[in-house]
Amino acid sequence: MAERAAPVGVMDSGVGGLSVLAEIQRLLPNESLLYVADSGHVPYGEKSPDYIRQRLRHIAGFFHAQGAKAMVLACNTATVAAVADLRELYPNWPLVGMEPAVKPAAAATRSGVVGVLATTGTLQSAKFAALLDRFANDVQVITQPCPGLVERIEAGDLDSPQLRQLLHGYVRPLLDAGCDTLILGCTHYPFLRPLLASMVPADVAIIDTGAAVARQLQRLLAARDLLAEGPARDTAFWTSAEPQSLNDVLPLLWGRADRVLPFPL
Ligand code: DGL
């Protein structure tokens, strides 16, 4: 029986999930959080679903061993590849996955054209196809894989000329096609929101799902009477890459430096 004071495990292929971690901490400040950046295996977007499932089994096992009362897959690519597998393995453990915000975008668009920026793995998945079937019948959805963005963000680059050029090349065709709503379908991309906003007309909406994931975690914990009463312990960070590399980008992406431990590969 998990206790209310037990931590919540949050993972991503790298630093992208920090954009979700921030939303969780904002909404649920009493929760103690564990964060695993699988940066030794990033990008997931170009890996096979089988490879990602193996990584997620390993990370879920780690959180379980740490006594986590719930796990958040703060990664769209990991969710499409592995959430069903983890739900089978841990049927009684609250698991929160995430998917591109197609439903709210379809409701919000006025031009009837929506653009999705995401990884190749997410856009090619059956789960994403099912999402479009379910929610995007009345709108045109244009998908744009964005190889290269994740690596830049992992290195703490949110604004270099090379990054601008790369992002511009991905966004231009979506605007030319009449998109008035852009979905950030990868948790790394919210870190590019200021840059992206500077490239698109002011009436183009940019949406992501970090806040919705935090609310879903809140619902799942509340339903099991597992919401923490606080105070939260310090967030613990692990990475499967060199700890110093996460340490270097934490002040930029998380707002402060924190102790980072090596994740047992
Ligand atoms: N942050 C991840 C996502 O939400 C994937 C990035 C990657 O490793 O390719 O899809």
- How far is the centre of ligand 1, averaged over its atoms, from the C-alpha of 254 (Å)? 17
Is 179 among the catalytic positions?
no
Q: Give residue 265's pLDDT band: very low, low, confident or very high (50, 70, 90).
A: confident
Tens digit of pLDDT for each residue in 19-48?
999 999 999 999 999 999 999 999 999 999
Give residue 88's pLDDT. 98
Give residues with Cβ within 8 angstroms of 201, minimum separation 6.
175
Q: Which of the following is catalytic: 8, 75, 95, 139?
A: 75
Is 186 among the catalytic positions?
yes
CB 21 within 8 A of CB 235: yes
Given CA atoms 157, 161, 162, 164 in this order, what sign does their dihedral have? Answer: positive
Give residues with Cβ within 8 angstroms of 206, minimum separation 6.
182, 184, 193, 196, 197, 200
CB 12 within 8 A of CB 38: yes
Task: Check if 153 has its Cβ closer than 6 Å to any atom of ligand 1.
Answer: no
Percent pLDDT > 70 in the chain is: 99
Q: Give residue 257's pLDDT band: very low, low, confident or very high (50, 70, 90).
A: confident
**59 C-beta neighbours (distance < 10 Å), count:** 24
**Summary mean pLDDT of the chain:** 97
Tens digit of pLDDT for each residue in 78-124?
999 999 999 999 999 999 999 999 999 999 999 999 999 999 999 99
Tens digit of pLDDT for each residue in 240-256?
999 999 999 999 999 99
Tens digit of pLDDT for each residue in 180-205?
999 999 999 999 999 999 999 999 99
Q: What is the mean pLDDT of residues 65-87?
A: 98
Give residue 127's pLDDT. 97
pLDDT of 1 over the 70 cut: no
Q: Which atom of ligand 1 is least distant from the CA of 118? A: 10
Give residue 2's pLDDT. 67
